[in-house]
Chains A and B, each alone.
Chain A
Amino acid sequence: MAPATSRWRDSVEMTDMPMSEVVRRELADAHRDDAVIGSSPVEGRRLGQMVSLRLEPEVLSALRQIANERGVTVSDLLREGAGLVLEGREKRMQVLQISLGVEVGGKRSSTWDPSATPTRGAGSESFTAA
């Protein structure tokens, strides 16, 4: 069964195009190679991205509580979480770069654990990031 959002969206009738989005996609697809009958340049603009996600009620309720306590929105919390994920990846990349640098260069760096013996392919676990 299709999600409620899809049912709702498919039932929307646009004023000049009374077809569902799914039908219009299929039609557009079938006409990809059609001729272009007019064109004009558009001034580019950086737009934000509105994404939505499905959360379990308990998770949302807990997030709402925290958001209220902090005086922020749930969106703020989710952005904060996204920032932490990216920060974590950045740190892992730094560790990987340090370990690769040591392995390729064969030189010790200030962040290298001297008790470890680096060998090619030994992985980054031998080294400790600062």
Chain B
Amino acid sequence: MALDLSRYEDIEWDPEEDPNGNLAHCMRANHLGPEPEQIVYEVLSREPVEFEMPLKTAKYAIVGPEESSATLWVVLLDVSSRRDDWLRPITGWRARPAQEAAWHQRRRGGGTASR
């Protein structure tokens, strides 16, 4: 762990037409929905919390709120293979209870998630 966002400049997205690309994947309803770029941007720019799960499937896992603060989102990120100052979203979803609790604990000093 130890995501230092000052090392990164951009977020890498594949063409929308690529069915296996990260954008088409993240746009699915059970992931980040129709505006994944905005969600990832807001999660990274507001109050992100990095977390670790028993099974590591990406370099970084973060949880954080969107602009309205109404929803916490999880985004898994890799470093782009094209440039090491680009972050590449792998997948994402609405935060689950354990991830919400981690965010509240780190950002609000509490251990319980509430919406």
Question: Which residues of A come within 8 Å of B, CB atoms?
Answer: 2-3, 5-6, 9-10, 12, 14, 17, 19, 21-22, 24-25, 27-29, 31-54
Contacts and interface: CB of A to CB of B under 8 A. Distances in A.
A52 B10 contact: no
B22 A38 contact: no
Nearest to A8: B81
13 contacts: A6-B19, A21-B78, A34-B54, A34-B98, A36-B51, A39-B106, A41-B47, A44-B64, A45-B5, A47-B11, A49-B37, A51-B37, A53-B15
Given A12-B81, A17-B56, A24-B90, A44 B5 contact: yes
Given A24-B58, A53-B16, 7 more contacts: A3-B20, A6-B19, A36-B52, A38-B1, A39-B106, A41-B106, A48-B10
Contacts of B47: 41, 44
Given A33-B98, A41-B49, A27 B57 contact: yes
Interface of B: 1-6, 8-23, 25, 37, 41, 44-59, 62, 64, 74, 76, 78, 81, 86-87, 90-91, 93, 96-99, 101-103, 105-107
A44 B68 CA distance: 16
A41 B45 contact: no
Nearest to B30: A29
Contacts of A34: 53-55, 98
Nearest to A34: B53
A74 to B, nearest CB: 15
A14 B76 CA distance: 15
A130 B23 CA distance: 39
B44 A45 contact: yes
Contact of A28 (B44, B46, B76): B76
